[in-house]
Amino acid sequence: MYNRSLYLAALAAACIGFGAVTGCSSGESSSAKGLYNAAVEATNESGENISVFDYKIILNDEEITFPVSLSELKGSGWTAEDDSRASGYYEKNGVRILLRMCDKNGDDFTVNGVSVTNRKNSEVQYTLKTSQGVEMNVSTKEDVEKIYGSADKVWDNGEYFYYQFGANMAVDKDTDRNNIGFGFDDLGIVRSIWITH
């Protein structure tokens, strides 16, 4: 991880040099937001940085941290719906997940991201959380904002995305890296979670 103190000093200097930073609205970002979402890290009582952006999901008590090798996922019981490609839907105990951004790595693949939606799993009982406690089918938009702060990008369909290296990366949610995203139903309950390293 890069040196946060040096980064914050540089950011403060940039803000002073370029004027006051204004707040951002849906789909727009301030200068500070374009560089870094401050909610990504917090400091504990000892002054150490604690990341809240660790690309981990807990699915039915199974922790998966991205990036992860495809062979490791297959070894733990995940089965491809289409064995001819690395990216795509995988199933385990009735739960379907979409593995994304699979890069060839020797004889294996590195899986950089996952999407899990309630829509694809409406017939199965499962639990899914981020490591910071946002839980599918339980947590609300307010819960997400308490943990991760204001979204770096809110897409037209209401999906919230947080980018570790800033909202300027938010060109295409299907290809961007270093993000965590959430989709909500009409009541504001989390129904989809995306993580991409």
The SS3 call for residue 98 is: strand
Instruction: Say if residues 51 and 128 touch (Cβ distance below 8 Å).
Output: no
Residue pLDDT, tens place only, 8-63: 344 343 333 433 333 333 333 333 333 334 444 555 555 554 566 789 999 999 99
Supply the pLDDT for residue 73.
Answer: 97
Q: Which DSSP string do the residues of 122-172 spell out, in sequence order?
A: TTS---EEETTS-BTTT-BHHHHHHHH-S-SEE-TT--EEEETT-GGGTT-
DSSP state of 62: E
Supply the pLDDT for residue 29.
Answer: 33
Quote the number of domains for the chain.
1
CA 172 distance to own-chain centroid: 14
Strands in 56-59's sheet, in edge-to-edge order, are 62-65, 56-59, 128-130
Residue pLDDT, tens place only, 57-98: 999 999 999 999 999 999 999 999 999 999 999 999 999 999
pTM over 0.85: no
Residue pLDDT, tens place only, 111-168: 999 999 999 998 999 999 999 999 999 999 999 999 999 998 888 888 998 888 666 6
Residue whose pair of structure tokens reads 């609205």 in the numeric block:
25
The residue range of the domain holding 127 is: 1-197
